[in-house]
Amino acid sequence: MAFEPSTGVAAVRAGMLAGRAWGGAMSLLRFAIVVAGTFLGLLAITFFIGRVVPIDPVLSVVGDRATKEVYEAARQAMGLDRPLIVQFFSYVGDVLRGDLGRSVSTGRLVIDDLARVFPATLEMATTGIVIGVALGVPMGVVAATRQGSLVDQAIRVLGLLGYSVPAFWLGLVGLAVFYAGLGWVAGPGRVDIFYDGLLDPVTGLYLVDSLIAGEWDIFRNAVSHLVLPASILGFFSLAYIARMTRSFMLDQLGQEYVTTARVKGVPERRVVWRHAFYPIRIQLITVIGLSYASLLEGSVMIETVFSWPGIGNYLTTALLNADMNAVLGATLVIGAVFILINKISDVLYRILDPRARR
């Protein structure tokens, strides 16, 4: 039988496709193992920290005037009389089933409380990172292209302030100036009391839900409440993003291919944004991802100052009330979000950089 070239080519192509599919499946499996291992480590850390902190969860339930019999009965009911390793595996099983326990402070399931408060933090942090990226990246590029100039010095001083100014102080000053003094923005909370409860929650994001419902008055009021705390968070992320962008750009502007492009007469704008900025976009993904995750987990002070009903405020209240189920649940969610954002950054890094895929 004569050998047909088309058959051989088809076999080679089929083999290549099978190899790619196998490589993709193994990559996905490794990704799942890494995520599962990281999440298990997070579970272990949150569990054992919850057991070593000087807070007795039994007393938070029965009170400090309970009799010894009542105390022991509650301790057995909560499973705290079992060996620590048994408690840990029981805790892992409950978490995998979506059971984070019941909050002593609110009397509701912790998972329900977190589903209620997390969208508020997500809305503020997302707006903050958008502000930080929209201003921080151009500022970093301008500072790098005008190294040593007055503009560069001003941007570096602004970045230094972003690292050194306490968040709660900046929040109080912002309220005093822009709310109490000038009246440009609304005060603490997500909306005025008049609008509270008028909006049916769909996503939990007031801006999105008000647009879906066509409630433009609520939308404008929510924006007025959001703009100041989100801008303060954006200022802190701006400082980090601008500093890293400037550093990356200075490294690229000193490369030989940039000098060659300038010698060839390529317009400066194209040299900066095409030849120098284009390669650093991959590094910026990691920077922006880390900054976004830090806003989601580190907005406790801003939420406290602005009475923002987010996960940071919820965690602070739980700590003050010795509500360990709520504390562990909130910590777990924050850690899981941090892991998720980092993994998304890794995926985007591989998509944009062919070398990482190889």
Check whether residue 191 and residue 155 sit in a common domain: yes
What is the domain extent for residue 180? 112-357
Domain contains 6? no
| Largest distance between two CA atoms of the chain | 94
Comparing 126 with 91, the larger pLDDT belongs to 126
Q: Please write the tens of the pLDDT for every residue from 264-274.
A: 887 888 888 88
Domain contains 314? yes
Q: Please write the tens of the pLDDT for every residue from 29-88.
A: 776 787 777 778 878 887 777 777 666 677 766 666 777 777 778 777 777 777 778 878
| 175 in Cβ contact with 187 (< 8 Å) | yes
Q: With 70 as the cut, is the pLDDT of residue 155 above it?
A: yes
Question: How many distinct structural domains can be found in the chain?
Answer: 2
Confidence of residue 20 (pLDDT cuts 50, 70, 90): low
Task: Give the Cα separation of 280 and 285 in Å (integer).
Answer: 9
pLDDT at position 228, please? 92
Average pLDDT over residues 137-149: 88
pLDDT at position 109, please? 87
Check whether residue 85 and residue 177 sit in a common domain: no
Where does a domain end: 96, 120, 149?
Answer: 96
Average pLDDT over residues 310-325: 82
Check whether residue 169 and residue 199 sit in a common domain: yes
| 331 in Cβ contact with 314 (< 8 Å) | no
Helices (H) and strands (E) in the chain, counts: 16, 0
Least confidently predicted of 56-60, 108-112, 302-306, 331-335: 56-60
Q: With 60 as the cut, is the pLDDT of residue 358 above it?
A: no
Taken in order 112, 114, 117, 123, the sign of the CA dihedral is negative
Predicted TM-score (pTM) of this structure: 0.80
Confidence of residue 134 (pLDDT cuts 50, 70, 90): very high
pLDDT at position 298, please? 64
Check whether residue 76 and residue 220 sit in a common domain: no
List the CATH number of the domain containing 171. 1.10.3720.10
